[in-house]
């Protein structure tokens, strides 16, 4: 093994490793050793780039928070095709099937990480609120197209949808829900309200 030569950006390698672990094994498996092993580097590397493991996690969350899910965002930007409920179900499945939920669970459990992130975001980690903003904008676009009931308020409905999806996925006490399950849930829940 060569040393001293950067094999791609180590920082990015570690972040990608964390992604894979979160999706494959869940938040409880995200230890410092798991990350460095998955990235194929020695333990020391992590501490050369970050002060400590929570520092790494904080940087990881910051990095992942904004580019939440390209697929879902793109899908929602193309408002007007498909049914509203179907689009929502697909987008929510994509977003909550990504690392988003795991990141929230992580922040819920690691007290030190949470404290550190609060310095950056006093109002709370924006992962879920940013999803809500995404959904809100989508619903506003749909209303512009007249595909929503006039009384349906995107501002209020968005957090409810995110909350429901978070409930479905974040629980994680059963098998992860399929896209079809989410679609049916979203259908049943908001069908009467939106159309």
Size of the site for DNA (CB under 7 A): 23
User: Shortest distance, CB of residue 110 to DNA, whole angstroms?
Assistant: 9
With CB under 5 to 8 Å by kind, the binding choice for 77 among a second copy, DNA, none is none
The two counts, helices (H) then strands (E), for the chain are 11, 0
User: Shortest distance, CB of residue 51 to DNA, whole angstroms?
Assistant: 7
Q: How many CA atoms within 13 Å lie on the side-chain side of 51?
A: 6
- Rounded to 10°, the helix 111-120/53-66 angle is 50
With CB under 5 to 8 Å by kind, the binding choice for 133 among DNA, a second copy, none is none
Q: Which of residues 25-44 bind DNA (CB under 7 A)?
A: 31-34, 41-44
Which residues of this protein are in contact with a second copy, per CB under 8 A? 26-28, 104-105, 107-111, 114, 117-118, 121-125, 128, 151, 153, 155-157, 159-168, 170-174, 185, 188-193
Q: Which long-range contacts (CB under 8 A, 24 or more apart) does 152-159 make?
A: 152/193, 152/194, 157/190, 157/193, 157/194, 158/132, 158/133, 159/132
Please give the residue ranges that form the binding site for DNA (CB under 7 A): 1-7, 10, 31-34, 41-45, 47-49, 52-54
């Amino acid at each position: 093994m060569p040393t001293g030569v950067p094999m791609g950006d180590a920082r990015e390698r570690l972040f990608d490793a964390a992604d894979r672990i979160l999706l494959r094994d869940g938040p409880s498996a995200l230890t410092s050793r798991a990350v460095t092993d998955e990235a194929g580097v020695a333990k020391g590397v992590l501490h050369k780039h970050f002060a400590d493991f929570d520092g790494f996690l904080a940087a990881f969350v910051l990095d992942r928070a904004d580019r939440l899910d390209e697929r879902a965002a793109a899908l929602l930007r193309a408002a007007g095709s498909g049914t509203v409920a179907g689009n929502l179900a697909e987008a929510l499945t994509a977003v909550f099937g990504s690392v988003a939920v795991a990141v929230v669970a992580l922040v819920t459990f690691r007290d030190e990480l949470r404290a550190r992130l609060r310095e950056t975001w006093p109002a709370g980690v924006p992962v879920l609120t940013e999803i809500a903003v995404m959904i809100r904008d989508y619903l506003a676009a749909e209303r512009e197209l007249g595909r929503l009931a006039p009384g349906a308020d995107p501002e209020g409905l968005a957090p409810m949808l995110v909350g429901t999806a978070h409930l479905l996925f974040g629980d994680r006490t059963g098998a992860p829900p399929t896209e079809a399950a989410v679609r049916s849930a979203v259908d049943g829940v908001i069908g009467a309200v939106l159309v």
